[in-house]
Amino acid sequence: MREIDVKDMENIVRDLCIKANLYLGEDVISAFEKAEKKEASPVGKEIIKNLIKNAEIAKNEEMPICQDTGMAVFFVEVGQDVQLIGGNITKAINEGVRRGYKDGYLRKSVVKDPLIRENTKDNTPAIIYYDIVPGENIKITFAPKGFGSENMSKTKMLKPSDGVKGVIDFVTETVRAAGPNPCPPIVVGVGIGGTMDKAAVLAKKALTRPIGSYSEKEHLREIEEILIRKINNLGIGPQGLGGNTTALAVHVESFPTHIAGLPVAVNINCHATRHEEVIL
């Protein structure tokens, strides 16, 4: 049984919060560069160039990529052969968030109550999804979620008879309705199956996949390929000013579901698709 002191996680989470908000992943930069070459609109092409430049400035000047440094969302895989010592893991993660957003001068965007809108002033509490897995490691994936894109996300309970076409139509219409609001070019996470809440978590977790990756399930990969074509044919384009780069990627994840249901969730990320991970 391997022991891990949760106090060590505070520093790790602190650093993840700062790094994810200052340094855009190479997968996203590479996607920008490929999109810029393919973009047919001169305005769209210039916008993508500016997004690349913005990421370079953020990295060099150690400033946030976007002023909305998001709610702190974590996916934590805990090996069943790990013994956590020295405190409570959830408290340690939240302390890491508190320190990271303070030390990194990141905007604090969380309110204590959704109706009584008083700011917590430290961007806590974090949203944490735990999963128990085999092994003696802990994998922490951090994905700060801005709400320009989060507000454009949707969940729908389709009928089983709606099938693949129903899924594709719902995702495409969700992106069409979002228009320029989520700051395209976007990344689209799609969760299919489970229950209403499970589909939403699947869609959000799908956004942490590297851009350029595809589903290992052949039928889901086909859906990803169909959706990226349909979405990029909508003409929304970079920042909603027209073009053929509305989305950089579509990632689809699925889970078994009930015989009477077909839950589908669409979670959208803006062009600043931020995610960092570490394995302890």
Sheet holding 138-142, edge to edge: 127-133, 73-79, 138-142, 276-279
For 68-100, what is each residue's pLDDT tens digit?
999 999 999 999 999 999 999 999 999 999 999
Region 251-264: mean pLDDT is: 98
Cα–Cα distance measured from residue 88 to residue 72, given in angstroms and rounded to the nearest whole number: 18
Residue 279: both structure tokens together? 């394995």
Residue 127 pLDDT exceeds 90:
yes
Cα distances (angstroms) measured from residue 251 to each of 11, 71, 216, 263: 31, 21, 11, 16
Region 29-49: mean pLDDT is: 96
Q: Give residue for tokens 């974590």.
A: 74
Residue 277 pLDDT exceeds 90:
yes
State the pTM of this model.
0.95
Instruction: Give the least confident one: 1-5, 52-56, 197-201, 211-215.
Output: 1-5
3-state secondary structure the chain: CEEEEHHHHHHHHHHHHHHHHHCCCHHHHHHHHHHHHHCCCHHHHHHHHHHHHHHHHHHHHCCCCCCCCCECEEEEEEECCEEEECCCHHHHHHHHHHHHHHHCCCCCCCECCCCCCCECCCCCCCEEEEEEECCCCEEEEECCECHHHHCCCEEEEECHHHHHHHHHHHHHHHHHHHCCCCCCCEEEEEEEEECHHHHHHHHHHHCCCCECECCCCHHHHHHHHHHHHHHHCCCCCHHHCCCCCCEEEEEEEEEEECCCCEEEEEEEECCCCCCEEEEC
Identify the pLDDT of residue 111.
98
Residue 64 pLDDT exceeds 90:
yes
Residue 114: both structure tokens together? 């959704």
Residue 1 pLDDT exceeds 90:
no
Residue 260 pLDDT exceeds 90:
yes
Give Cα 235 distance to the centre of its chain: 23
Region 15-41: mean pLDDT is: 96
Residue 44: both structure tokens together? 């769209």
Give the chain's domains with CATH numbers.
2-20+65-144 (no CATH), 147-272 (3.30.1330)
Identify the pLDDT of residue 162.
98
Return the amino acid letter for 14.
R
Identify the pLDDT of residue 66.
95
